[in-house]
Amino acid sequence: MASTKRIKIRNKCQPLEKANNGSRWWLDSDFGRATSSKDTIEDLETFEYGFKDAPPGSSYTKKDFAAGLAFIYVKCKDIQDGDVTISFDGTDNTVVKLGINEGISVRLDPTAQVRVVMSGESGIEFLTGTT
């Protein structure tokens, strides 16, 4: 069966600096310009979209994603207390920490084992794509 799904990822990074407390934000003179990138992941078979909340009073909640993902997007939708962190080796060795309304989208090696750890009361929104 032919794959009919794809995902487009677009990112833009624009470093800003502030000369002093009373001034406005300016494009960072050390960097000089905004950067951007885009990627299209083709031949996806399925998407999975969902939410995961750490219940009130919990101290530690995990969301493990199965190996074999080609793409993942995770957004921290709420933090009352604690942190939302992500690892890519199936352990608690986290390498990414998200704040409220921050997200990460990445193309994955199929052997990656994504684990999101939510400490305290928090929640995430996610989208995954499988080939």
Split into its structural domains, the chain has a count of 1
Contact 116, 88 (CB under 8 A): no
pLDDT tens by residue, 73-84: 999 988 887 888
Q: Which tokens sit at 52?
A: 């995961």
Tell me which residue range forms the domain holding 42. 5-130
CATH of the domain at 23: 2.60.120.10
Alpha-carbon gap, residue 40 to 13, rounded angstroms: 18
Rounded to an integer, the average pLDDT of 25-53 is 83
Provide the pLDDT for residue 57.
73
Provide the pLDDT for residue 1.
55
pLDDT tens by residue, 10-33: 888 888 888 787 778 877 777 767
User: Alpha carbon of 94 to those of 41, 97, 111, 127: distances in Å?
Assistant: 25, 8, 17, 19
